[in-house]
Homo-oligomer: A and B are copies of this chain.
Amino acid sequence: MELYRERGFDRTTAAEIAARAGVNERTFFRHFPDKREVLFDGEAELRAALTRAVVDAPAGLEPFEVLLRAFRESARGLEASRPFAEPRWRVVAETPALRERELAKHAWLTEAVVDALRRRGVGAGVADLAARTGWAAYQHAVQVWIDDPAPGLDAHLVRAFDDLRALSSTGSSPADGS
């Protein structure tokens, strides 16, 4: 389905994608609600995995500890699939319409994290704040890792949460390696 890489997303028609898949255009739209959705297929599994990781984390952990654990876990899968995922990132990054959809997916995943935290007994307000800011730190780590894969996503993730702690304590600013 990576006609997108050849001609770019905008210059690829739904009819072309369907033809490449040996199928009718109408049939294509029966499998995917729209043209963009093709690139965001695994998100449901990711959501489930994230939810599970949060819910199944050991009791007694603070919300951010739970989130860091869950993100590190899901990051393993992301790191393993980087070779396949990388060309997809490129297409998404250069196409505004796809970036919008990606952000929507992230909001959807964040909601899942909120729900999962609440299932652990975390209050609604704290769950929302923790999920939003934790997700932001996660995305920061992913972005840094995309630009500089050498240290590994896991290391970037741990560092992001450390830096966030340092930022929050109104004492000293963390050292900046970038």
Q: Which residues of A are interface residues toward B (Cβ below 8 A)?
A: 62-65, 96, 99-101, 103-104, 106-107, 122-126, 128-130, 132-133, 135-137, 139-140, 143-144, 160, 163-165, 167-170, 173-174, 176-178
How far apart sit A64 and B167, CA to CA, in the bound complex (Å)? 7
Identical chains bound together, number: 2
A172 to B, closest residue via Cβ? B62
Which one of B64, B100, B173 lies within 8 Å of A170 (CB-CB)?
A: B64
> A173 is contacted by which of B126, B128, B144, B165 (Cβ under 8 Å)?
B126
Contact: B133 with A62, CB < 8 Å?
Answer: no
23 A-B pairs, CB-CB below 8 angstroms? A64-B167, A64-B170, A65-B170, A99-B104, A100-B100, A100-B101, A100-B103, A103-B103, A103-B104, A103-B106, A103-B107, A123-B176, A123-B177, A124-B176, A124-B178, A125-B176, A125-B177, A126-B163, A128-B143, A129-B164, A133-B164, A133-B167, A165-B169
- Tell me, rounded to whole Å, the shortest Cβ–Cβ distance linking A120 to chain B: 11
Max chain B C-beta neighbours (<10 A), residue from A65, A129, A164, A168: A129
Residue ID in chain B nearest A176 by CB atoms: B123
A136 touches B140 (CB 8 A): no
Residues of chain B lying within 8 A (CB to CB) of residue A130: 167
